[in-house]
């Protein structure tokens, strides 16, 4: 019988992850089927071995972060294979972090951040990209380390990346994207794709730190002081907002003096 147009394509079985009681189907137009023992996922989520987290089967839908390439990298971390540090490290790390946080694999997220520290030490030319990644993941120590390690001329290489600013913005946004040789540690030189997803608090504190001190070491120290102060202000604002909401609840009287 002919196959219906509405029938989903039969997934291709991954060559590495092909056995186990936990199944994951990638979001690709030609999906890939991954299978592995559920105890790996339990360990990655910091749970004791036993019944696997439900569901036993996951159909991925996010085309940007849940394609076969990203899933394979994530599962490499889940099964302790890790990741190599090369020119594509940042894009890979971003994919793995997305999946680790979405599926509550805190141990994996910590491993990726630790590897980012190592990547910065081994490959200082990744400094600008690691600063962006760390800011988006709320890792102030790594941001400061990136600022200290950055040297003029350490431009990021976006060529061939699935997260290329040119890929995201498209040809109509070309005028908004700086040329690669002009991308520096200063947020004002970052491509639009680096601003997207980066908290404004981090963008402001990085930029402010760079203007307050002259040496990279001093700028890194200044950033840590600024981000801590900014977070204190944000916590206070959130607390004050919560108190104002409580006073608006009839009969509560906790802060309104009723």
**What backbone torsions phi and psi does residue 36 show, to the nearest 5 degrees?**
-155, 160
Name the range with the highest mean pLDDT among 47-51, 59-63, 164-168.
Answer: 59-63
CA atoms of 35 and 204, how far apart (whole Å): 44
Percent of residues, the chain, with pLDDT higher than 90: 47
Strand partners, 181: none
Residue-level pLDDT at 64: 86
- Region for 11 from its dihedrals, namely left if φ exceeds 0, alpha if ψ lies in -120 to 50, beta otherwise: beta
Classify 12 as helix, strand or coil.
Answer: strand
**Which pTM was predicted?**
0.74
Q: What is the pLDDT of residues 119-156, one digit of tens each?
A: 999 998 899 999 999 999 999 999 999 999 998 765 55
CA atoms of 120 and 128, how far apart (whole Å): 10
Whether the per-residue pLDDT at 171 is higher than 80: the answer is no
Cβ-based neighbours of 20, under 8 Å, separated by 6 or more: 35, 36, 37, 38, 40
What's the mean pLDDT when you consider all of the chain?
81
CA dihedral for 150, 151, 152, 157, sign (positive or negative): negative
Q: What is the pLDDT of residues 187-226, one digit of tens each?
A: 999 988 889 889 999 999 999 999 999 899 999 999 999 9
Identify the burial level of 35 via C-beta atoms within 10 angstroms of its C-beta, where 0-12 means exposed, 13-18 middle and 19 or more buried: middle
In the structure, what pLDDT confidence band is assigned to residue 255 with cuts at 50, 70 and 90?
Answer: very low
The answer to whether 174 touches 166, Cβ cutoff 8 Å, is: yes
- Region for 249 from its dihedrals, namely left if φ exceeds 0, alpha if ψ lies in -120 to 50, beta otherwise: beta
Residue where the block lists tokens 């994951």 = 24
């Amino acid at each position: 019988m002919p196959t219906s147009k509405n029938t989903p394509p039969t997934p291709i079985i991954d060559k590495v992850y092909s056995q186990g009681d936990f199944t994951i189907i990638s979001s690709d137009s030609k999906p890939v089927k991954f299978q592995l023992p559920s105890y790996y996922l339990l360990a990655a989520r910091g749970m004791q071995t036993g019944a696997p987290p439900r569901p036993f089967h996951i159909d991925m839908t996010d085309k940007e972060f849940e394609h076969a390439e990203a899933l394979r990298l994530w599962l490499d971390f889940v099964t302790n294979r890790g990741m190599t540090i090369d020119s594509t490290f940042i894009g890979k790390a971003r994919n793995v972090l997305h999946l680790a946080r979405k599926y509550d694999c805190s141990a994996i997220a910590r491993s990726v951040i630790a590897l980012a520290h190592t990547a910065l030490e081994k490959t200082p030319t990744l400094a600008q990209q690691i600063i962006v990644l760390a800011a988006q993941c709320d890792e102030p120590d790594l941001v400061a380390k990136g600022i200290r390690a950055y040297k003029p001329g350490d431009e990021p290489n976006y060529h061939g990346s699935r997260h290329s600013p040119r890929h995201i913005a498209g040809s109509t946004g070309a005028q908004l994207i700086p040329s690669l040789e002009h991308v520096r540690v200063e947020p004002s030189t970052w491509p639009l794709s680096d601003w997207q997803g980066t908290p404004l608090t981090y963008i402001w504190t990085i930029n402010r730190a760079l203007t307050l001190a002259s040496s990279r070491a001093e700028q890194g120290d200044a950033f840590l002081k600024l981000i801590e102060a900014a977070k204190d202000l944000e916590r206070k604002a959130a607390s004050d907002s919560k108190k104002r909401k409580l006073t608006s609840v009839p009969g509560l009287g906790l802060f309104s003096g009723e």
